[in-house]
Amino acid sequence: MFTLFTLNESLSMAYKVDRISVVFLIAIIILWIVAGIYSAYYMKGKEHLKRFYSFYAVLFLILVFMALSANLFTFYMNYELMTLCSVSLVMHEQTKEARDAGFKYLIYSFFGAYFVLFGFYVLNKYCTSLTFTMGGTLDKSLVAGNEGIVLLAALFMIIGFGVKAGMWPLHAWLTTAHPIAPSPASAVLSGVIVKAGVVGIIRSLYFLIGADFIKGTWVQTAFSILTLMTVLLGSALAFFEPVLKKRLAYSTISQVSYILFGLSLFEDAAFEGSLLQFVAHAFAKCGLFLVAGLLIIITGSVKVEDMKGVGKKYPVLLWCYTILSLSMIGIPPTGGFLAKWYLIEGSLRSEFAAFAWVGPLFLLVSALLTAGYLLPLSMKGFMPGKDFEYTKEYVKLPKKAIVPIVILTVLCVLAGIIPNLFTGGAL
């Protein structure tokens, strides 16, 4: 552990590398590079580029430091800075909608951050140290008799970090803020920044409070209910959403809660599944948003129904879209399939009352819905029907627009074949 700076006896800025940091770092670095390449095409000729790339770069550094954080203070500090910097990406277009969306994003995020802060204050009293240690650092003698407040703190941290991860009932900002940003920004927002909330929950539950303390309590029940609600709700809302980028944002809400559901089980296989879903979703969702950006440029429309027949002219693009969608649904040989497999296996093994079998049921229904909202675009894209008239217009897509999407698709498949490469686990 490397201590950079000590503020006082309980607060310091310290960094270290462990498994969670590595998984998070992989997602950050890969996504930042591919979305960066893509933005060279997408952002060309747009205004305020200097501002966009400054914040893009600063955000990268903040995320790297967040991934490497060794204690709660360092993590929380970077977490707040991340919120403040990422709002600039959301509001980049400077329209009324963009500014309102940015404001909504900011307020929801701070709402969550202050819930976390409550947990922070409480844990400062009841933990022996705020350094992340697998298994937790609770001071058993202090906690005795005060379990209630520590559990409340745990719930508040789940809800607080859950805001960033789009967990119901505080998910509404996500579908406003993500679609309005420029596509490369939506890609990293949905791919990485929501995951900061997930990492926050992992860090606080597994590394500070300790899985043993929460397992079997009402907090675990509440956490599971919230995540399962979100899984289903996100999918259902995506199913009825006509605007492509919004549909993808709803999909993020649902898919990220798969990860959280796995965490709520406190079971090894589920934890591995969560980590793999973490990486696979990052690749897939980033890729889908990049595709969405191109489709909007090509068709000049944001709605799915106007995107018929694009497969004929842009086969690579649509094939990538389809494979990434398969990962979202959970069909082999993609990372998403393996992740969901382990999540369900973990759930069945967990002996966690009704959730052991209700959970998998929810995941399967959600998978059906996911197929229902993602695949129609593929089908209509390749097979628009007899009556469809192809227009002559053709937007030339340069390599820097297509290659990032292909890379992400390949990675998504690789995650299904050699998952250990990305999660460092022993699946």
Binding site for another protein (CB under 8 A): 5, 7-8, 11, 73, 76-77, 80-81, 84, 87, 91, 94-96, 98-99, 102-103, 106-107, 110-111, 114-115, 117-118, 121-122, 124-125, 149
Question: Count of CB atoms within 10 A of residue 221's CB?
Answer: 15
Q: Please, which residue, 16 or 99, has the CB nearer to another protein?
A: 99
Smallest gap from residue 219 Cβ to another protein (A): 17
Question: Count of CB atoms within 10 A of residue 330's CB?
Answer: 27
Task: Provide the 8-state DSSP code for 389.
Answer: P
Smallest gap from residue 98 Cβ to another protein (A): 8
Smallest gap from residue 6 Cβ to another protein (A): 8
In angstroms, the CA 178 to CA 48 distance is 19
Q: Please, which residue, 11 or 297, has the CB nearer to another protein?
A: 11
Task: Classify 69 as helix, strand or coil.
Answer: strand
Smallest gap from residue 229 Cβ to another protein (A): 24
Q: Please, which residue, 81 or 427, has the CB nearer to another protein?
A: 81
Between the alpha carbon of residue 256 and those of residues 40, 162, 262, 284, the distances in Å are 28, 10, 10, 12
Q: Please, which residue, 52 or 283, has the CB nearer to another protein?
A: 52
Which DSSP helix (H) or strand (E) runs through 427? none
Task: Provide the 8-state DSSP code for 392.
Answer: S
Q: Please, which residue, 119 or 191, has the CB nearer to another protein?
A: 119
Q: Are 220 and 266 in contact (CB under 8 A)?
A: yes
Smallest gap from residue 153 Cβ to another protein (A): 10
Q: Please, which residue, 8 or 141, has the CB nearer to another protein?
A: 8
Q: Please, which residue, 45 or 148, has the CB nearer to another protein?
A: 148
Smallest gap from residue 138 Cβ to another protein (A): 15
Q: Please, which residue, 62 or 402, has the CB nearer to another protein?
A: 62
* Angle (nearest 5°) at CA 299 between 296 and 302: 45
In angstroms, the CA 85 to CA 374 distance is 31
Amino acid at 175: T
Q: Are 38 and 404 in contact (CB under 8 A)?
A: yes
Q: Please, which residue, 8 or 391, has the CB nearer to another protein?
A: 8
Q: Among positive and negative, which fits the CA dihedral 283, 289, 294, 298?
A: positive
Q: Are 359 and 367 in contact (CB under 8 A)?
A: no
How far from each other are the two terminal CA atoms of the chain, in whole angstroms? Answer: 27
Smallest gap from residue 91 Cβ to another protein (A): 5
Close Cβ partners of 11 (under 8 Å, ≥ 6 residues apart): 73, 130
Q: Are 203 and 141 in contact (CB under 8 A)?
A: no
Close Cβ partners of 23 (under 8 Å, ≥ 6 residues apart): 275, 278, 279, 422, 423, 424
Smallest gap from residue 55 Cβ to another protein (A): 11
Which region holds residue 143: left if phi is over 0, alpha if psi is between -120 and 50, else beta?
A: alpha
Smallest gap from residue 216 Cβ to another protein (A): 25
Tokens of 104: 């909504």
Q: Please, which residue, 32 or 76, has the CB nearer to another protein?
A: 76
Question: Count of CB atoms within 10 A of residue 420's CB?
Answer: 11
Smallest gap from residue 2 Cβ to another protein (A): 17
